[in-house]
Structure 1
Amino acid sequence: MVHTCVVAGCRNRRTPGTTLSFYRFPRDPERKQRWIAAVNREGWVPNDGSRLCSTHFISGKQVKNPRSPDYVPSVFTSAPLSPEMKEPGALEVLDKQEARVEAANALLFLQGQGSSVSGEMGQEEHPQEGEQEASFEESASSSFSTDEEDDDNDDESLSECKKGKLAQASDASVNFEDALKALKKENQALRESVERMSLSESSLRNDAEKVKFYTGLPNFFVLETVMWLLAPHMEGMKNVKLSKFQQLLLTLMRLRLDLRNQDLAYRFGVKVSMVTRTVHQMVNIMSSTLVPTAVFWPSRAELRKNLPAALRASHPDCAVIIDCFTVPFEEPVSRGNQQHQQQGMGTSYNVLKFLIGVAPQGVVTFVSRGVLGNVSDKSLAEGCGFLCKLLPGDVVLANRDLDIADSVAARGAIFKIASTYGSSEGTPLADSSSETPSVQRHVERVISMVKQRYAMLTGPVESPFTTTSERTSNLSTFDKIVQVACALNNLCISAAPLE
């Protein structure tokens, strides 16, 4: 059976040796309707024998991917004929794209197939379609510049016309293929560029530096381990726009880079309210699951076993290195308690004060909740539960005088200052003669590593993070953020190597 293209004005049909393809109309009703609309023949409905040739697709063939431009034919003449296609000579002037397609078909037709095709076409087995085929044959021959009826007396002019159109068809075919290759190459480059710029799981998987920059974690394996630990606890979080991995990544970027919520909303394509809710929920989950497994007080045997060389000679009984740090608020906060009011102290404060304890190996082993105002180091240490961790004979090392020597001594432990210059108050506990510059540098490195790794701990703290997050807990969201940052720090390679 001879298949003829159903598009108005298209003269292509299946012939022996042709490189054209002819496609049935799709079975899918929605796609089939789009094909019918693209053919644009009023009142016409395709049957089982209806075919569409490959010249009506940009790439020269149909594509079943809905995202492809060739999912539906799009290359057509600017002025289609009547539905019955009885007047092919009434076509309007083709646009540039159609001219190229027709020229390419002319080239294929003229390359050694003219005579053989004409002989075989006359022997088709469907005489009832003879008149229609003859009409198409006559139309096609006129399109390829034969014009035998009009120019019988001008053979020389006809020959020159054929040569010119053959050259144009060849150039159009080459230009079309080159343009298609260039577009495919450009498309691939754009896809790779978008993938590199995106904040997706695949873009981070093989880029340790990118993982370290955005999350503070050393590589994707550690990030994936954290995701595996938190995923079962994220089932109740309803977020249709962000995946579990994106919710974790957004929260880590908030802690690591201290990005504003509006910035994160732009990066992830969500609303600011969703960013705020996601950060609060993820911090609560990490506080209850990650912190207990990563921030804990080690046994004395473990401390002695892995004591760094910088402290092994001078402080073999060092159990912890401590310091206090403050984080400012974005705005002054009015918040007080009964103890402050009884002491006649004001209720307006603009800093949070924390006590942090780090093992000599560089692992955070203790962090207190934040206390508002200018509370003394002694009051903070006695009220946060730090002293309960100490055993008789433990050495508590600090880089400066924290005024907690008496409180530490009451637990049978010893407080020392790792400074070659001794204490500003001249306390005898600062045995500067036994200290070395390497010990001082070691302590400074251990204390500063957490705040360097997670910029949000440098402040200023936004007011929504200072309120108590749960009724059953006296911890604010920022208290939990500090604890989570310490837990994440413990998953990284220590800034204070053992040797």
Structure 2
Amino acid sequence: MSLFGNKAGKRLKLQHQEKKTSLHCCVLLCTNSSRYNSILSFHRFPVDEEVKSVWTAKIRREDFSPTDGTRVCSVHFLPGDFVGPRHLKKGAVPCLFAWNKFSIPTPRLNVWQRHPRPPTPELLPADTTEEEDSVQPMEVTVTDHDCCVTPNTSVVVYELTRENEKLREKIEQLQHQLESLQLRSTFGLQRIAGSDEDIRFYTRFASYKSFLAFWKQVEPAANTKFVRISSANAASGIPHRATKLLLVDELLLFLMYLSVGLPLRDLANRFSIHRTTVSRIITSWTHFLYHLLGSIRLWIPPEDVKAHLPPEFAAFPDTQVILDCTEICCQTPSSLLLHSEVYSSYKSHTTFKAMIGIAP
């Protein structure tokens, strides 16, 4: 019993000495101490040499070799590294330091520090002079401690930074998705500009380059002389565009109506406009291109035709034009009079008749 009592006494004495000895964190720029903070836990270096070398490398101290008294405080560990409030998991490694943009949040001031109470009149001396009133109070510096920092609150800034980065990346992805959806939701020249095959299908132009060449010839007159036709007024006299579409997209809509024969409802859905607006655009561009292209000289000078006359026309040297008649199928009109005028017994359908002339 005496031997057991001596051992118990020595153990109690050692524990009492350890409590009196304050522990300090060995990490650079960290001033945590067990003397001023009883909430934090301080941990020895692991016995495993491999894990111990990882701890030493993480701390980044030159010529540093840890001893039995060397400690690392719990501020530098993640919350998932703990089993219970003060026990580390096996293999846990410190990873939160000042050089990887981790900083301990400043503790929140208490109500007395946030709202200092003014002195009561009873405490002021009755014979206060003006000189005493002019004396500035002494500034009292209070040492900030991290008593309120726990393993859970020590990583708040680190987690918020990571969350902000993830949210910023997600916002960029959503912006790209929104731009692609906006491009897909509305039909326009930009959507088919990268495909000459689509240009040929929708406009009958050979390529996007040839379409732009035609648009550059038409654009000056479209910006100055374009007259919008409406059902209320056959010539409204509006010199600028009255729809939300660009003029080049209106031309694309008109060409799609001619080349593909899409109905008004389909064009309205593609360009996100009303069917009445589609009808006005088609009518306006029909009149505009008729007057614009009709003013261009179509006949080649006789001397040029004679200079480039093929050998097959040697017996007819004065030939200037070859004429032919063609028919284009059209919708059946509701009027019986119009139906009788446009019906073709040769095609067995209602057609528009046209005479075409071509230089030899």
Normalised TM-score (structure 2): 0.46
Q: Who wins on radius of gyration, i.e. which is larger? A: 2
Which structure has more RCO (C-alpha within 8 Å, separation ≥ 6)? 1
